[in-house]
A and B are shown apart, each in its own frame.
Chain A
Amino acid sequence: MGGYGDVQLLRDDGLRLDGRKLDEMRPVSIEAGILPAADGSAMVTHGLNVAVAAVYGPMEAHPRKIQRQDRAVIDVRYNMAPFSTGDRIRPGYNRRSREISKVTAEALESVVLVERYPRSKIRVEIEILAAEAGTRCAGITAAAVALADAGIPMRDLIVGVASGKVEDTVVLDLDKAEDNYGQADLPVGILPNTGEIAFLQMDGDLSPDEYNLAMEYNFKAAAEIHEIMVDALKRRYEGGEN
């Protein structure tokens, strides 16, 4: 949230500035297996966001002090490319990318069957090539597809999606203006098949009713994105059945 302002975010006809309905998502497209050197990879285009995820491993965890005797550790590195926004971002790790890496790793750990690979590490690299609000959600979605592409066993394909509040109205999938000048943002990681929530953050204030409506929007969008994820994985391996 960039703060409250007098920016008009809803048009007089009730639609949003980019013409979307309140519960309408930006266009999403996903491609799996885009990086030949990675064990699994995916690119997610969500509106103007472009997120690329690469998965390496499972591999021996180094340094050894990070090893867990009963499970694998998931090492996530989320990074925004310097050219991903209009204002150049200083390259390298910062407070924000550290936080997003941590919450993404925790979200992925709840779906990956980490107990299958004790003492090992699964490395997930998320690179945001273009950013327009909602990059952590696009990153989680890309990571889930890349993990599936790498053959890592998982309980479900986790989907990252966000809702929020602008001009006292709950809307799905905030764009940049809505994110900067809106009143609340609610990104979540949803397991569509079981309806579980693996990750939830909230920035700003939502009343219980607004929260419920935002979650309703999120679940609806998660189901749509999940279909696109499954389709991307099937498309990659179509024509095979040996």
Chain B
Amino acid sequence: MSNGQNGAELRLVTPGMAIGPSAGIRAGSGALAQNDTIIATRLGWVKQLNNTVSVDPINSAYMPRSGDLIVATVAEVRNNLWFMNINGPFQGLLPMSLAPWKVEFGAARQHMGIGDVVLARVQEVDECHNVVLTMKGVGLRRLTQGSLHSIPINHLDRLRGEGNATLQRLRDACDCRIIVGENGKVWVDGDAEGTAWARQAFDLVRNSGHKDTFEADLTALEKNTPKNGDA
């Protein structure tokens, strides 16, 4: 059995790989105590905080939490509610009472149809993983123009940067409005050149977000912004 951790050095582990002995150590997310050993259950980096060992996964599905700001797509429409694709294992439910409009019973389709994109917030997630969304709140609305992009959940922090610094750099560079949903969906609204540049930046985050060279690559990309006239 190969070890995932060698001394204090962080290592990439694969499912089933032994991280270390379980004595006095708690298995955090992405890890499992099996017999006397803690094993990884996901592909990712081993992290140890106090006496809890966890695996920071390289890829993972979006697990909705109450309060998350997400970009969702209408998947189904009923008389009094919308089922929303939230890019996760479960669909979100948006009842007409939590929509920003006054919706009559049976008139849900007149406000939003399948494929429409909204900025919503997760109102509630119960123990059965039923997800209720709300569009009542400042800035929550139907997104009518712009384009939708995807970023792996684990690279959202890379996209945002410390205190949203990286995201602000991207906004300034492409002169577009960029909304990042917690569910890995990113909405970009701007001119064609700016959107094309933003798309390159998202590709960079997607492909190199986990690499040490990301910052240098992003700086190089910034030299070719639409503002500089090189794009």
Contact = CB atoms under 8 A, between A and B. Distances in A.
Interface of A: 39-40, 57-60, 69, 72, 111, 113, 117-120, 148-157, 191-194, 229-230, 233-234, 237, 239-242
A51 to B, nearest CB: 19
Given A113-B41, A242-B209, A60 B12 contact: no
B91 A153 contact: no
A234 B12 contact: yes
The SS class assigned to the B binding surface is loop
Contacts of B22: none
Q: Number of contact residues on B: which range applies?
A: 35 or more
A241 B57 contact: no
Interface stretch (B58-66, B109-117, B135-143, B163-171): B58-66
B220 interface: no
A237 B39 contact: no
Nearest to B37: A193
Given A117-B89, A120-B89, A193 B209 contact: no
Contacts of A237: 12, 43, 58, 210
A60 B89 contact: yes
B213 interface: yes
A193 B17 contact: yes
Nearest to A151: B59
A154 B43 CA distance: 9
Given A157-B14, A234-B14, 10 more contacts: A58-B89, A119-B89, A148-B42, A149-B43, A151-B44, A153-B41, A154-B41, A191-B16, A242-B210, A242-B211
Nearest 9 interchain pairs by C-beta = A151-B59, A156-B16, A240-B210, A120-B89, A58-B89, A154-B15, A151-B60, A153-B41, A193-B16
A39 B57 CA distance: 13
Interface in B57-85: 57-61, 75, 85
B43 to A, nearest CB: 5
Given A155-B32, A155-B41, A237-B58, A148 B89 contact: no
Given A118-B128, A149-B43, A155 B15 contact: yes
Contact of A155 (B16, B90, B209): B16
Contacts of A119: 89-90, 128-129
Given A118-B129, A193-B16, A151 B210 contact: no
